[in-house]
Structure 1
Amino acid sequence: MSSIDRQNIWKTIPQKGFLGHPKGLFTLFFTEFWERFSYYGMRAILVFYMYYEVSKGGLGLDKSTALSIMSIYGSLVYMSGIIGGWVADRLLGTSKSVFYGGVLIMFGHIALAIPGNFAFFLVSMVLIILGTGLLKPNVSSVVGDIYSPEDRRRDSGFSIFYMGINLGGFLSPLIVGEVGMKHNFHLGFSIAAIGMFIGLILFVVTKKKNLGQAGAYVANPLPSEDKKKIFTWIGIGTIILALIFIFTIKIGYMDFKRFITLVGILGILIPAGYFIAMYRSPKTTDVERSRLLAYIPLFIASVMFWAIQEQGSTILANYADERTQLHFAGFDLSPAWFQSLNPLFIITLAPVFAWLWIKLGNREPSIPKKFSLGILFAGLSFIIILLPAYLGGTDSLVNPLWLVLSYFVCVLGELCLSPVGLSATTKLAPKAFSAQTMSLWFLSNAAAQAINAQIVKFYKPETEMVYFGTIGVIAILLSITLFLLSPKIEKFMKGVH
């Protein structure tokens, strides 16, 4: 397919049919809804499954180890987007990658649903990591395909798409959390598997009518004569890495702490390598190189934001379990339910933000300024959650409304940064690296969680104020810096608004 055809893919899609947006948004909205239902439902109970005692149905891991595993797992989930982006750009296209990713995720949740041991747990993690890498960046890339380059509905469409993500994320902790925490962890994981199955059925049934040619092309196809050579090298490299990993475990060199450090290093080096490779590629034009330079400070800001936001499933989950008064206003609250707060607030506020960006028109803040607002609110959310310890100490249980307020303020930042970041990535991406640039966007989350795996071990009740305060202040200072640099960044964006 020629580059001109790619630019006109949107013409193969009915442009009205879902909330005033292209009909394909319906398919992508609900596919991602069910994928996120399965993922966030599983994640809502996963950390508790790891550190609860075996007698309570858990794996009985050390709490600090469980928190670090949760962060490493999250990092690898988003890091695997590199594989998904490469497979989509060079082999399958984004649509097929979404489907095969969903299949792997479903089998990963089925593996978790089978009562077993730590080995079963590891198998499920590998399947979900690889599946999410195929699905997550590529379904967002298809959203970009359904709009023309000049369509001002794009940012609004991504906000609606983002609302679908969070609708699934809101319902699943309530349902999976209730079943998993009060009845059986494995039954909860079964519900997550069923959610992904429903999403796959919906995608297959509706994509032909609603998506046209979106996601059906391979952006930078691998020449047939090179496939055998590249696959051979990939196979050899995989075997060598596996042997090195097994050998270092056998001799006692590779332990959990060193593995965390390795993932942390990869979380920084892989994005840097991606930027360098795309910048130096002959397939990248001068204008695209300028836009890549503009993308770097946005990427750094995104890392800072997700380093705070993703602690909702680790530090704040543990905070809800052990530091929060769970009998409140006559109700017994489940600690898993607090993870529904983030998507609940996004569902409520996403339409407001989508309307606001359109209403402001030419007065709409630039992309860098939206990012600066995002990390400002994230920093403030951590300042808020340190206040209970400051006011009442760390020995008494905290009113759950403090946790609610912290989640709410962080969501304000997320709506300024995350859907805008998805949209900006589709605009700033070099044409030859469209899906891989979306993978790069998700690598900011991978880098953030790799960093979190290093720092969550410093969280204890006695260090609570210092922990939240230090991270919060760093985010606020970075926000101010990004705001001041916004005019220069906008120049490098070469007309992208």
Structure 2
Amino acid sequence: MTEQRSWFGQPRGLTILFLTNMWEQFSYYGMRALLVYYMTKHLMLGQGTSSFVYGAYTACAYFTPLFGGVIADRFLGKRRAIIVGASIMAAGHFMMTFDALFYVALVTIALGNGLFLPSLPSQIDQLYEPGDPRRAWAYNVYYVGVNVGGFLAPVLCGTIGELYGWHYGFGVAGFGMLAGLLIYVSGRRYLPPEPERSPPVVRSLTGGGLEYRTVLVLLAVAVSATVFRSAYEQVGNTVALWTDTGVDRSAGHFLIPMTWFQSLNSLFVIVFTQPLLAIWRRQASAGHEQRLARRMALGALIVAGAYLLLTALTWQDGGARADWIWLVAFFAIFTLGELFILPTGLAVFARLAPPAFAATTVACWFLTIFSGSLSAGLVGILWSRIDHTTFFLLLTVLAALAALMLRLLDSPMQRAQRAERQPDRLEAELS
């Protein structure tokens, strides 16, 4: 399988996972781009309620993978878990086209996501033989797939929903999920075989799986990521609301649809990934590779800088609408920071996972999205209770606090890596 090349010189199986994830993310971000507007403009829910529902939904969507990963590892297997999960998610997206099924649809999508999400990236490492250098960039290539779907979704689902009706936009998201399912089923022959079913996770932690030191470090990374996501997840929530009311979206005689700005994050991921990887390769060749905790801390600090820009804009404008070009600048800075922290965090959890518990360990990374999204929903309630300058300053502080926490984890992470059976592999391949 490692001889088959298809995407960035990677195995064909990575292409299948890439495209499957791309369409799943298309459906997720397509629905997410519409969700807060649908609640405030169609269902006529208050801003505080809408922000809390938004945060609770995204939190639940990333809490269920913890159970889904265990089910995949011990009972269904990764392939069946992906097929079942994708089918349930597609059904949930189509339920969104009916107002009466709104909350049922959100629960359905969250349940399907629990089976689907951890099982897909946990197959990446098994595509390669030990020592294959292509693994160094596999997760960044995979992350581009996330954002190709994330770029297309607001443009297609958002435009259709905004111009022709929210329900049509939700329906397009459902068809995107079906496309991902079809690609995965048709490309199964390129994917790694299922590992044998495993005993309970506790035995792995106490009998030769993850070291306790590693578990503690991963827990600390998860707490730091939760604080970070309290600020990060606002892009689809309060930043989207500010785009509607606080940004001048006029480009000549054309009014830019508000949902289009949601695609900028993913567009910049696609644009920035290859140059950033080239810089990291040169650093590694020169012997100046950056430690993982420091890389993640720098990413959180850059995101803090992005929110500091919004703080300055809302303070300086004094209630006037900001030019849309500043929102583009915000997303460029925001995305650069994201690329330092989120793919690295996913790779850390996936690479330190014992093979028999790969989906379960990856699910623990996605659990940080649950806790961070729930926290972001609670923070979002403050949007209508304090002035916007103070709110964006709060987000700046949260991202900076996460940067400090991650920086303090540098030495513990180094010690945890040395405690593993192959202590240097993770650092070398992600640098």
TM-score with structure 1 setting the length: 0.80
Alignment partner, residue 112 of structure 1: 96
| 1:180/1:187 contact within 8 Å kept | yes
Quote how far apart the aligned CAs of 1:13 are: 5.1
The 5 A counterparts of 1:13-412 are: 14-52=3-41, 58-113=42-97, 115-117=98-100, 120-208=101-189, 210-213=190-193, 216-220=194-198, 281-285=205-209, 288-361=211-284, 362-394=287-319, 396-412=320-336
| 1:17/1:23 contact within 8 Å kept | yes
Alignment partner, residue 394 of structure 2: 470
The alignment partner of 1:16 has SS state of coil
Quote how far apart the aligned CAs of 1:23 are: 1.4
Q: Distance in 1 between matches of 2:375 and 2:26?
A: 26
Q: Distance in 1 between matches of 2:192 and 2:293?
A: 33
Amino acid at match of 1:20: G
Q: Distance in 2 between matches of 1:493 and 1:93?
A: 28
Residue 478 to residue 42, structure 1, CA distance change in 2 (3 Å): closer
Amino acid at match of 2:236: S
Quote how far apart the aligned CAs of 1:465 are: 1.6
| 1:292/1:428 contact within 8 Å kept | no
Alignment partner, residue 374 of structure 2: 450
Quote how far apart the aligned CAs of 1:485 are: 4.2
Amino acid at match of 1:193: G
Quote how far apart the aligned CAs of 1:121 are: 0.5
Quote how far apart the aligned CAs of 1:207 are: 1.4
Residue 219 to residue 434, structure 1, CA distance change in 2 (3 Å): farther
Q: Distance in 1 between matches of 2:156 and 2:238?
A: 22
The alignment partner of 2:120 has SS state of helix
Amino acid at match of 1:354: L
| 1:91/1:221 contact within 8 Å kept | no
Quote how far apart the aligned CAs of 1:116 are: 3.4
Residue 356 to residue 288, structure 1, CA distance change in 2 (3 Å): farther
| 2:29/2:153 contact within 8 Å kept | yes
Give deviations 1:43-102, integer Å, cap 9, x for gaps: 1111111111xxxxx112112111110010000000011121111111112122111111
Give deviations 1:256-281, integer Å, cap 9, x for gaps: xxxxxxxxxxxxxxxxxxxxx75984
Among 405, 423, 433, the alignment partner of 2:357 is 433
Quote how far apart the aligned CAs of 1:436 are: 1.0
Alignment partner, residue 8 of structure 1: none
| 1:85/1:436 contact within 8 Å kept | yes
What percent identity do the matched residue pairs reach?
29
Q: Distance in 1 between matches of 2:125 and 2:197?
A: 13
Alignment partner, residue 459 of structure 1: 383
TM-score with structure 2 setting the length: 0.92
Amino acid at match of 1:196: M
Residue 280 to residue 30, structure 1, CA distance change in 2 (3 Å): closer
Which blocks of at least 5 consecutive residues in structure 2 are unaligned?
Answer: none
Give deviations 1:132-159, integer Å, cap 9, x for gaps: 1111111111112212343332241111
Residue 152 to residue 359, structure 1, CA distance change in 2 (3 Å): farther
| 1:288/1:429 contact within 8 Å kept | no
Quote how far apart the aligned CAs of 1:405 are: 1.7
Larger radius of gyration: 1
| 1:14/1:22 contact within 8 Å kept | yes
Amino acid at match of 2:5: K
Q: Distance in 1 between matches of 2:199 and 2:416?
A: 29
| 1:41/1:173 contact within 8 Å kept | yes
Give deviations 1:376-414, integer Å, cap 9, x for gaps: 1121111111111211212x1111122222221111111
1:421 partnered with 2:345: yes
The alignment partner of 1:340 has SS state of helix
Task: Say which is worse superposed, 143-152 or 23-32, in terms of deviation.
Answer: 143-152
Quote how far apart the aligned CAs of 1:359 are: 2.9
Quote how far apart the aligned CAs of 1:15 are: 4.6
Q: Distance in 2 between matches of 1:284 and 1:331?
A: 62
Amino acid at match of 1:406: F
| 2:196/2:356 contact within 8 Å kept | no
| 1:13/1:212 contact within 8 Å kept | no
Residue 157 to residue 281, structure 1, CA distance change in 2 (3 Å): closer
Q: CA RMSD in A?
A: 2.0
Residue 485 to residue 128, structure 1, CA distance change in 2 (3 Å): closer
Q: Distance in 1 between matches of 2:401 and 2:53?
A: 29
Q: Distance in 2 between matches of 1:402 and 1:368?
A: 30
Quote how far apart the aligned CAs of 1:356 are: 2.7
Q: Distance in 2 between matches of 1:332 and 1:95?
A: 44
The alignment partner of 2:344 has SS state of helix
Which blocks of at least 5 consecutive residues in structure 1 are unaligned?
Answer: 1-11, 53-57, 223-276
Q: Distance in 1 between matches of 2:288 and 2:351?
A: 19
The alignment partner of 1:61 has SS state of coil
Q: Distance in 2 between matches of 1:207 and 1:330?
A: 49
The alignment partner of 2:131 has SS state of coil
Q: Distance in 2 between matches of 1:324 and 1:129?
A: 32
Amino acid at match of 2:49: T
| 1:167/1:344 contact within 8 Å kept | yes
Q: Distance in 1 between matches of 2:154 and 2:107?
A: 22
Amino acid at match of 1:301: S
